Amino acid sequence: NAGVTQTPKFRILKIGQSMTLQCTQDMNHNYMYWYRQDPGMGLKLIYYSVGAGITDKGEVPNGYNVSRSTTEDFPLRLELAAPSQTSVYFCASSYQETQYFGPGTRLLVL
């Protein structure tokens, strides 16, 4: 199993641009999550999904959107990038409580 994979690894965006961060898991987990991690801090939940077709907001959802059309994929969309969205983004999945994380996408908005 590859586990949780994320693409791209690194991206530079200009203010106002949009992009989609991809996340795929091959463990057949129902639950998937998107977190952001700012320097020196723990992770904060952006959005999560309890199954295909179901998504819900986390602690810091503003400026982001998600969709969950399949069990495997959970893309995160930034519509109008802002400097405050400069961060490292982690996708995770779980069968029960333990969440398994991908390698992260480092995003820089200039």
Question: What is the binding site for other proteins (CB under 8 A)?
Answer: 4, 30-31, 33, 40-45, 48, 50, 58-59, 90, 92, 94-104
Closest CB to other proteins among 48 and 64? 48
Q: In what order do the strands lie in the sheet with 76-78?
A: 4-7, 19-25, 76-78, 64-66
Nearest approach in angstroms of CB 67 to other proteins is 17
Nearest to 2 by CA among 19, 27, 22, 23: 27
Closest CB to other proteins among 61 and 75? 61
Nearest approach in angstroms of CB 27 to other proteins is 13
Nearest approach in angstroms of CB 26 to other proteins is 16
- How would you label 4-27 residue by residue, b for 16+ Cβ within 10 Å and e otherwise? bebeeeebebeeeeebebbbbbee
Closest CB to other proteins among 14 and 97? 97
Instruction: Give the residue ranges of DSSP H helices in the chain.
Output: none
